[in-house]
Amino acid sequence: MIVTFLGHACVKLEQDGHSLIIDPFLTGNSLAAASPSDIEAEHILLTHGHGDHVGDTVAIAKRTGAQVVGTPELAAFLGWQGVENTVGMNIGGTYDLGYAKVKMVQAFHSSGYTLQDEQQIVYLGMPTGLIITWGGHTILHAGDTGLFGDMKMIGDRHPIDLAFLPIGDYFTMGPEDALTAAEWLQAKQVVPVHYNTFSPIRQDAEAYAKTLGEKGIKGTVLKPGERLEL
């Protein structure tokens, strides 16, 4: 499996001719390693409804025909924007993509889309994390979240080979809490995400990876555009 970090919290997974992308925030992201027109994917998975995660979903889905998977509220909202192929699932549920399975788990954050011109915020359901099982690998994208105790249960029940954890602080966990999260999740490898895109979330990812190593966890820092192979 090829795992590509595209910046902020956007990740692409590819294997055996199939591909999916998570939280494709590219336009307006100064650190993005791709543009929406570059993206080809069968599925777009969304953790929650904030603009820096929904990102370019509508444009990519309309161009490629990718199926979009999110909470029911988020799926309905995107359908109103002209996305024809959506799946609205919820926390605790599992959806079969055909080549992989995705399970929604909880995250502690908020979830809404801001309509600037109308000065309105659209509620888009609970924030989530995503557990993807594909080709013998188990991958967790934690979404935007703070530290919470049930990460221990998630780690006990799912053998997580790779976890994408936010470390930016301010809006999500910072490095200290993300270190505890990695331990509780029993992740074999961790890639930090959701940092350095904006000034309030600047962090030293290499320092975080070093602390992971001191705990016996492999920490891998990927610059936008870099890949790793599982």
Say if residue 151 is exposed, middle or buried (CB neighbours under 10 Å; 0-12, 13-18, 19+).
Answer: buried
The one-letter code for the residue type at 141 is H
- Asked if residue 43 lies in contact with residue 23, where contact means CB atoms within 8 angstroms, the answer is no
pLDDT computed for residue 10 by the predictor = 98
Q: What percent of the chain is modeled with pLDDT above 70?
A: 100
Please, which pLDDT band fits residue 26 given cuts at 50, 70 and 90? very high
Average pLDDT, the chain: 98
pLDDT digits 0-9 by tens, 38-73: 999 999 999 999 999 999 999 999 999 999 999 999
Reported pTM: 0.98
Please, which pLDDT band fits residue 137 given cuts at 50, 70 and 90? very high
CA end-to-end span of the chain: 5
pLDDT computed for residue 85 by the predictor = 98
pLDDT computed for residue 209 by the predictor = 98
Taking the domain 2-222, which CATH number applies?
3.60.15.10
pLDDT computed for residue 112 by the predictor = 95
Say if residue 57 is exposed, middle or buried (CB neighbours under 10 Å; 0-12, 13-18, 19+).
Answer: buried
Structural domain boundaries in the chain? 2-222
pLDDT digits 0-9 by tens, 109-131: 999 999 999 999 999 999 999 99
